Amino acid sequence: MKRSVIVSWSSGKDSALTLWRLINDPSYEVVGLYTTYVGSEVPFQATPIEIVKQQALLIGLPLVLIELPKVFPANNVYQQTIVNSLKNCELAFDCVAFGDLFCNGIADYRRQYIEPAGWACVFPLLGQPSHQLANEIIECGIKTKLVTVDSTQLETHFCGRWFDHQLLTELPLTADLCGENGEFHSLVVDGPFYRQPLNLLWLGCETDARFCYQRYALVETGSSQYHNDSIS
């Protein structure tokens, strides 16, 4: 029997590859996505919630939106917010999938609050080399753009670049090819699981004291099925 799974969706490439692997794994049935956000956007990616909703619409999966009180809430607040929101959503699932890559204790941290709630954790990418995953992302047809660059780790001219083979050859040796040290974050614009590409107008890049952001606007919007769970 297939195990039903909900995918932690950041709007970027790692969660996209996680989704694609699970879609193609006969052991699992993907029943939905969930995204945590602060204010009106996903932290780090700085993805507006309206864009995340459009991604879910194009993928054809229900989306659970979970609002956090701030970017780095206390661990107990973060964990309880996730668990309560997933328990209260209308989706039934056995597993929660994450796109973590590094074996740096993150898997144990996830299991600490997910498993007591009665779900199993799934880590399709964990422990696999970044260069292999980066090439798999590109070759399977996931089209993604760097939308946030940390200027303390990477030159800002990489912001707004497409995540392609050319980019991989130009990244400095100090950078992880998947940006797993926080060098950059991405936005998935197209993929083999999309009904059609995300239609965006690219507006240029903005830089603050540390980060450079690729700005954009949705050209065509639509309504999607999603559940909005938030805390006040």
Percent of residues, the chain, with pLDDT higher than 90: 92
- Residue 194, in any domain of the structure: yes
Asked whether residue 74 is assigned to any structural domain, the reply reads yes
Spatial separation of the C-alpha atoms in residues 81 and 90, rounded to whole Å: 16
Number of domains in the chain: 1
Residue 102 lies in a domain: yes
* pLDDT classification of 220: cutoffs 50, 70, 90: low
Task: Report if residue 142 sits inside a domain.
Answer: yes
pLDDT tens for 57-90 read 999 999 999 999 999 999 999 999 999 999 999 9
Domain harbouring 71, CATH code: 3.40.50.620
Kindly report, residue by residue over 164-188, the tens digit of the pLDDT: 999 999 999 999 999 999 999 999 9
| Residue 119, domain member (yes or no) | yes
**Can you tell me the distance from the alpha carbon of 28 to that of 22, in angstroms, rounded to the nearest whole number?**
6
Q: 191-200 in b/e burial notation, b at 16+ Cβ within 10 A?
A: bebbeeebeb
- Do the Cβ atoms of 153 and 180 come closer than 8 Å? no
In a domain, 229, yes or no: no
What tokens were used for 95?
């597993």
Residue 231 placed within a domain: no
Range(s) of the domain holding residue 147: 3-221
Task: Indicate whether 24 belongs to any domain.
Answer: yes
